[in-house]
Amino acid sequence: MARTLTDDQGIKRYLVNLKVNGDTHTVMVKGNALLVNVLREELDLTGTKKGCELGDCGSCTVLLDGKPVNSCLVLAVEAEGSEITTIEGVARNENLDKLQESFVNNAAIQCGYCTPGMVLSAKALLTRNPHPSETEVREAISGNLCRCTGYVNIVKAVLAAAEQE
């Protein structure tokens, strides 16, 4: 359990070690701090988007030990001890992941607000199932809402990336 400190108003704060994209960050958070807010505000990883804060839209998707989760539904204290991957951790230096490249090349991006979450959900899918069917792709991203693309080119991009395996 994380070490705690109680401030002079009696509010308990937790010392949490978050392993994000391979680096460990030590942050002091309240018990109700959401992972999405800690990533965005404390660590400045604003690639993780906030679209609804209800777990409906999937814009805040991150990988927790490889599994996609809505980071608006995860407490920061719960994430201690897990490997967290955000969109900033997907590309290696200037080299895009093949999924990212496929999104760019297949016109799968419009406003881009859902894109980080989409890429991470698709990445989790391809890790566990390198050759998914179209239906499996649609199921895997069905928790990520996109208002621009009708998902047509997103599905195409994920399938094209899988082809490269």
Partner 1 sequence: MSQEYAVIGKSVPRNDGWDKVTGKAKYTGDLKFPNLLVGKILTSPHAHARILSIDTSEAEKLPGVKAVITHEDVPSVKYGISPARWDENIFCIDKVRFVGDKVAAVAAVDEETVYKALKLIKVEYEVLPAVFDPFEAMREDAPLVQEEYPRNINTEIHQNFGDVDKAFAEAYYVRTDRFKGQRTYQSPIEPHSAISHWDRDKLTIYSSTQSPHYFQYYIAREFGLPMGSVRVLKTHIGGGFGGKLEPTGLEFAGAALSKLTGRPVRMFYDRHDMFAHNRGRHAQFMELKTGVDKDGKILAVHANFVMDGGAYTSLGVASAYYAGALLTIPYEFDNYKFDMFRVNTNLPACGAQRGHGHPQPRFAFESHLDNIAQELGIDPVEIRLRNARKSQTTTLNEFKVETCALTEALEKARDLSNWREKKGKLTSGRGIGIGVGSFVSGAGYPIYRTDLPQASAVIKVNEDGSEVTLYSGSVDIGQGSDTVLCQMAAEAMGYLYEKIRIVSADTELAPHDFGAYASRQTLMSGAAVKQAGEEVKAQLLEISAPGMGVTAEELDCREGIIFVKANPEISRTFGEVAREFFVKKGPLVGRGVYHVPKLGGKFKGAAVGTSPAYSFAAQIAEVNIDEETGEVKIEEVWDVHDCGKVINPALLHAQVHGAFYMGMGESVWEQVLFDDKGRIINANLAEYRLPTALDMPRFHSDLVDTIDPNGPWGVKEVGEGATTPVMGCISNAITDAIGVRINSLPLSYEKVWRAIQERKKNKSGE
Residues that bind partner 1 in the complex, under the rule CB under 8 A: 40, 44-54, 56-57, 59, 86-88, 90-91, 96, 100, 103-107, 109-116, 119, 137-139, 141-155
Q: How many whole angstroms separate alpha carbon 42 and alpha carbon 12?
A: 18
Q: Is the separation of the CB atoms in 162 and 131 below 8 Å?
A: yes
Q: Which is nearer to partner 1, 87 or 126 (CB)?
A: 87
Q: How many whole angstroms separate alpha carbon 68 and alpha carbon 123?
A: 9
Supply the minimum distance, in Å, between the C-beta of residue 85 and partner 1.
11
Among 87, 61, 83, smallest CA distance to 146 is for 61
Strand 12-20 versus strand 83-85 pairing type: parallel
Supply the minimum distance, in Å, between the C-beta of residue 124 and partner 1.
15
Q: Which is nearer to partner 1, 79 or 161 (CB)?
A: 161
Supply the minimum distance, in Å, between the C-beta of residue 75 and partner 1.
15
Q: Which is nearer to partner 1, 81 or 152 (CB)?
A: 152
Which of the 8 DSSP states describes residue 3?
A: E
CB atoms within 10 A of CB 51: 18
Supply the minimum distance, in Å, between the C-beta of residue 107 and partner 1.
4
Q: Which is nearer to partner 1, 82 or 106 (CB)?
A: 106
Supply the minimum distance, in Å, between the C-beta of residue 81 and partner 1.
24
Q: How many whole angstroms separate alpha carbon 90 and alpha carbon 119?
A: 9
Q: Which is nearer to partner 1, 82 or 115 (CB)?
A: 115
